[in-house]
Structure 1
Amino acid sequence: MTSYRGITWDHPRGRDALRAAAARERSAGSGLDIVWDAHSLEHFESHPIDDLAERYDLIVLDHPHLGEALELGSLRPIDDVVSAAQLERWAGEAVGPSFASYEVAGRQWALPLDAATQVSVRRADLCPAEPGTWDEVEALSRSVPVVLSLAGPHAFLTFASMCVAFGSAFDDDVVGTEVLDRMRSIAARAPRDAETQNPIALLERMTDTADIAYVPLVYGYVNYSSPTVRFADAPAAVAGGRLGSTIGGTGLALSRRCEVTPELVHHIEWLMSSEAQVGFIPAHAGQPSTRTAWLDDAVNGAAHGFYRSTLATIEDSWVRPRYSGYIRFQADASAIIRDALSGELTIPSALAALRAASPDPSLPVGVAAQHPQKVTEQW
């Protein structure tokens, strides 16, 4: 029996399907034994991939980590072990830019087992219908509790997605000023302590209490979709405009220490198959990455319409840069955004600080105005 160690993130959506799939292999006597460890969402968002690659064969990661991973040689390219024809099929089946987000320099470095982007969420008992534009979001915040996702890297991700909606990179001072001004207005009326809560905590708070009516941008988690907690598309700047959102989700990567066997390749291919994506993964608290699954009647019925209600947003979502140093920039930029919202920094000072925080001023760290499929060519 060949044994592998994997690392994923500690939430039912991140771990349950992978552990159940590993148990399925052991029960079938395939000769494959995968043990999945799990770390927190915060650890997943910021922990160095190179350290994980020293200890794990399989790594569930977010695409912005690829710059650092490639610089340090932490990963094995997927196209070394899977055929080009198979990769092309998976690329065509993936929802939004979820597959393309793991391609850098003409190589595929991970496979999107899970697809997610920032979407809106509301308490149906407090907010009968979701706003369609940011003007409507700001107006709603004056009558019911509206919260922005601001903890950890999410302050910058919220800001960047709003810039996407308004049609420009964040280093456009006019757009950046308008977006920060709107964020300040909304955040000033938010319920206490919401700014410290990550997306999971915000969604659990919405599930368990009635002190948040609406969040315009939060990473979608099918696990919290219910008749009361309803997910929908992200707001646009104007009716019919681009739905501003930054794609997340997770990809399955192979570390440099991973000794790939035919049994492991078969297992990965099964995880990407329609059988797993439409059936097994949703049945085990996972969030699939194929468009077929997102459109499936049974999958949507079990998820209270989560997938169809947010499909337009993920199809329009922005892909973050994948250069070494981006993860640090994202953390630093979020701290700058929070200081701007609290009034510790003026808006012009915050925009200047964002530009100064870029690890390489020659790189257009705000590529929000580009269509997501084009971003992969630049990075």
Structure 2
Amino acid sequence: MQRLKALTWDHPRGYNALAAAAARPELTESGLAIAWDRQPLEGFESHPIADLCDRYDLVVLDHPHVGEAVAGHCLQSLESVFGEEVLQALEAESIGPSLRSYRFAGVHWALPLDAATQVMAVRADLLERQVPLLWEDVAELSRSTGKVALSLAGPHAALSFLSIAAAFGEPPAESDPDLLVSKDTGRQVYDLMCDVAARSPPSVREKNPIGILGHMANHDDVVLCPLIYGYVNYAAPLEGNAIAFHNAPRRIAGGRPGSTLGGTGIGISRRCEVTPALKRHLLWLMGREAQVSFIPGHDGQPSRREAWHNAGVNARWGSFYENTADTLEQAYVRPRHDGYIAFQGKASALLRHAFEERAAADRVLDDLQALYASHRSAGGER
């Protein structure tokens, strides 16, 4: 019996489907046993990937860690495990940039288990108007109600900044990997965020996305969060009020819904012996049966496009998937060079302080660019 140690994140969306899949009789019959450990969300976002790969055979990670993983030589490429033909099929089946976000230095480093991006969360029972489509509508709702919350804790201030810049027509560091964002776009994004942040309800200012969504489900002081990582579990909760999820705001009608890709993938550490049984299990997790039925049925959030448009899946989960699929298809992919994770955390702290101080936009943008440059590896890929 091959016994593997695996690590995921401590939330029903991150754990339940993987644990249930590992308990399937077919796995034991194939001579494979996988024990899934859990770490808190904050550890998932910041813990050094090389350390985790030293201790685990399979590691659930998010795509901005791949540059760090490549630098640490701690993962096996998917090409070396599955071959090009399998990856081409997965690319065709995966929604948005779910698979290609794990491509770095010419190869892929994780299987796209779970797809997510920032979307709009709304307490539809409290919203006395149509769901906002544009950022100007969001700002007006903030001014008129004081019940619009920005997700700013942890890395999320920086992630929201990146998303709004993408909606405003300039995906950060995309046309020029050395420039985070131009002054013109940066000022518009900063001024908008500063304005909405000033009225963001104090009750959720220090909460991560799970905390904000949990608060929204059980309290009435937050009507809308315009950019927050979608968690399908809150669309049809066992307790509390249901939260409706919609596409992220756009700058103009018909424009791009600015959003920064999230989601998770399964990386295979170099310590792992890849057997035929393990390959079959991992590809089963990516396949139609698991992605359309098994994973949504165990609190997971699939990465297969077909699942996001499946009528049964949407009926069970309050149309979460079909209402946000457009945002995911167009989601912005962050830089992934070694050093990006550290930048993301420091940039968020810088922005939170700037919002509190109502600091001048140009100074904040200069500081952000300097911080970005200091954490960008020489010659590193996005």
TM-score with structure 1 length normalisation? 0.94
**Which amino acid is 1:202 matched to?**
I
- 1:283 corresponding residue in structure 2: 297
The answer (yes or no) to whether the contact 1:119–1:231 under 8 Å persists in 2 is yes
- 2:133 corresponding residue in structure 1: 132
Q: Describe the SS at the equivalent of 2:244.
A: strand
- Counterpart pick for 1:202 among 212, 223, 226: 212
- 1:250 corresponding residue in structure 2: 264
- 1:3 corresponding residue in structure 2: 3
The answer (yes or no) to whether the contact 1:7–1:36 under 8 Å persists in 2 is yes
**Which amino acid is 2:190 matched to?**
L
CA distance in 1, matches of 2:228, 2:87: 30
| % identical equivalent positions | 49
- 2:189 corresponding residue in structure 1: 179
The offset of 1:352, in angstroms, is 0.8
Change over 3 Å in CA distance of 1:364–1:165 after alignment to 2: farther
Q: Describe the SS at the equivalent of 2:82.
A: coil
The offset of 1:328, in angstroms, is 0.2
CA distance in 2, matches of 1:292, 1:362: 36
CA distance in 2, matches of 1:305, 1:275: 20
Q: Deviations over 1:297-342 (max 9, x none)?
A: 0011101100000010001110011100000000111111111111
CA distance in 2, matches of 1:364, 1:182: 32
**Which amino acid is 1:95 matched to?**
I
Q: Deviations over 1:270-316 (max 9, x none)?
A: 00010000010000000000100000000111011000000100011
- Counterpart pick for 2:316 among 282, 288, 302: 302
CA root-mean-square deviation: 1.8
Change over 3 Å in CA distance of 1:48–1:378 after alignment to 2: closer
Change over 3 Å in CA distance of 1:292–1:73 after alignment to 2: same
Deviates more, 1:324-333 or 1:79-88: 79-88
Q: Describe the SS at the equivalent of 1:288.
A: coil
Are 2:246 and 1:232 equivalent residues in the alignment?
A: yes
The offset of 1:361, in angstroms, is 7.8
- 1:259 corresponding residue in structure 2: 273
- 2:15 corresponding residue in structure 1: 15
Unaligned ranges ≥5, structure 1 = 366-376
Tell me how many residue pairs correspond in the alignment.
368
**Which amino acid is 2:307 matched to?**
A
CA distance in 1, matches of 2:235, 2:164: 23
The answer (yes or no) to whether the contact 2:337–2:381 under 8 Å persists in 1 is no
CA distance in 1, matches of 2:246, 2:347: 27
Are 2:201 and 1:191 equivalent residues in the alignment?
A: yes
The offset of 1:359, in angstroms, is 4.5
The answer (yes or no) to whether the contact 1:270–1:276 under 8 Å persists in 2 is yes
- 2:103 corresponding residue in structure 1: 103
The answer (yes or no) to whether the contact 1:325–1:359 under 8 Å persists in 2 is no
The answer (yes or no) to whether the contact 1:243–1:316 under 8 Å persists in 2 is yes
The offset of 1:67, in angstroms, is 0.6
- 1:213 corresponding residue in structure 2: 223
CA distance in 2, matches of 1:138, 1:28: 54
The offset of 1:178, in angstroms, is 1.2
- 2:143 corresponding residue in structure 1: 142
The offset of 1:16, in angstroms, is 0.2
- 2:349 corresponding residue in structure 1: 335
The answer (yes or no) to whether the contact 2:59–2:266 under 8 Å persists in 1 is yes
**Which amino acid is 2:78 matched to?**
I
- 1:370 corresponding residue in structure 2: none
The answer (yes or no) to whether the contact 2:5–2:56 under 8 Å persists in 1 is yes
Deviates more, 1:298-307 or 1:224-233: 224-233
Q: Describe the SS at the equivalent of 1:143.
A: helix
The offset of 1:363, in angstroms, is 7.6
Are 2:273 and 1:272 equivalent residues in the alignment?
A: no
Runs of 4+ aligned structure 1 residues displaced above 4 Å come to: 25-28, 359-365
CA distance in 1, matches of 2:266, 2:89: 17
The offset of 1:129, in angstroms, is 2.6
**Which amino acid is 1:136 matched to?**
D
CA distance in 1, matches of 2:250, 2:27: 48
- 2:175 corresponding residue in structure 1: none
